Amino acid sequence: MPEYEYDYELTNREKAAVLLVSLGKTYSAELFRHLNEDELSDLTLNIATLRRVPPEQRERVIEEFRQMCLAEQFVQEGGIDYARELLQASVGPEKAEEMLAKLSRSLHVRPFGFINSIDAAQLLNIIHNEHPQTIALVLSYADPKQASEVVSQLPPDKQADIIRRIANMGAASPEYIKEAEAILENIIVSMGFSDRVSQGGIDSIVGIFNELDRSSEKNILEILEREDAPLAEEIRSKLFVFEDIAHLTNSAVQRVLKDVNNADLAIALKMATDDVKKLIFGNVSARMKEMIEDDMEVMGPVSVRDVESAQQRIVSVVRRLDEAGEIVILRGEGEAMIV
């Protein structure tokens, strides 16, 4: 059984991000549906800011996850003692205890683990104007080498103060730590210190969103609007949502409508904006428009979930045609065209 040694220390959040990117957008989208608001926001942020992960390191993350799932299965089947006995036979006593300890901690994450993703100069740039007690708190969780490099770059009078505060630091309240973490993470994202690469980054998020139902997509974006508005805006700018149909050209709309189920269209238009209705009705025959309007009237009240599902199926048609090159969505340009 290999040890889990990484090119740089990964936090549990980062391991989760690596795992989801490795699983692919379909499975990741399914997992997203089972997360709460805090988990959605946190995990989306970590995927978007994921650092470069070598293939071998990614494989180690996947193997660690597999082993932890196996350990949890043993616990569920026969309890801790049963799991310990099987794990010791499989991976040895020391590794077995380590795995069981991780399970007992559940999803506990070391505070400020994300600062390992940046170098000392960047960390100094982020925290040098913070209150000395906050600086001391952050450095107390930093890697010793990283912390020493930061301290060495502080003004001489401040160096001693920070060291004294670290030495005399008692237990900080979880609320204070969480608040400080959130502030620093937002600063890191806004300053662009976290590399966004092909293994994670915005493109991975967009891939996952393309597999999500419309309700989940809207929910996540609403959460991110509150938690990290710049990230939400960046994701939204790369997504095509139902309301964006209003920005398609007539020829693009006509091509899309060829692959859209008429029943879906009638349901989707129940909650469509006036601009979307105007564009769609302007690209169908008078007879077709009359049929769609009749269907909308006859069907009566429709649940929001059904409307959103129909809209999502139409959006999937648009995205599929875009990926196939039959239409081109010009991101940020507010229009699409036929190739």
Same domain, 275 and 134: no
Same domain, 111 and 28: yes
Same domain, 270 and 327: yes
Q: What is the CATH number of the domain that holds 166?
A: 1.10.220.30
d(CA 310, CA 214): 9
Last residue of a domain, one of 239, 271, 300: 239
Same domain, 136 and 205: no
How many Cβ atoms sit within 10 Å of the Cβ of residue 39? Answer: 16
Same domain, 290 and 310: yes
Amino acid making up residue 91: V
| Residue 328 three-state SS | strand
Same domain, 234 and 247: no
Helix (H) or strand (E) holding 316: helix 304-324
User: CB of 98 within 8 A of CB of 87?
Assistant: no
Amino acid making up residue 282: G
Last residue of a domain, one of 224, 239, 254: 239
Amino acid making up residue 145: K
Last residue of a domain, one of 210, 239, 268: 239
Give the alpha-carbon dihedral of 159, 163, 166, 168, to 10 degrees: -130
Q: Can you give the pTM of this predicted structure?
A: 0.41
Same domain, 109 and 218: yes
Same domain, 179 and 210: no
Same domain, 97 and 2: yes
**pLDDT per residue as tens digits for the range 12-42:** 778 888 888 888 777 777 777 777 777 777 7
Same domain, 199 and 301: no
What is the 8-class DSSP label of residue 20?
A: H
User: CB of 275 within 8 A of CB of 247?
Assistant: no
**pLDDT per residue as tens digits for the range 94-133:** 877 776 666 654 433 456 766 766 778 888 888 888 888 8
Place of tokens 């609007």: 225
- Which of the pair, 71 or 281, is modelled with greater confidence? 281
pLDDT band at 289 (very low <50, low <70, confident <90, very high): very high
Same domain, 183 and 56: no
Same domain, 35 and 162: no
Q: What is the pLDDT of residue 125?
A: 84
Residue 322 has pLDDT above 50, yes or no: yes
Domain that holds residue 24: 1-115+195-239
**pLDDT per residue as tens digits for the range 123-182:** 888 888 888 888 888 888 777 777 888 888 888 778 888 887 877 776 666 677 777 777
How many domains are there within the chain?
Answer: 3
Dmax over Cα atoms in the chain, in whole Å? 81
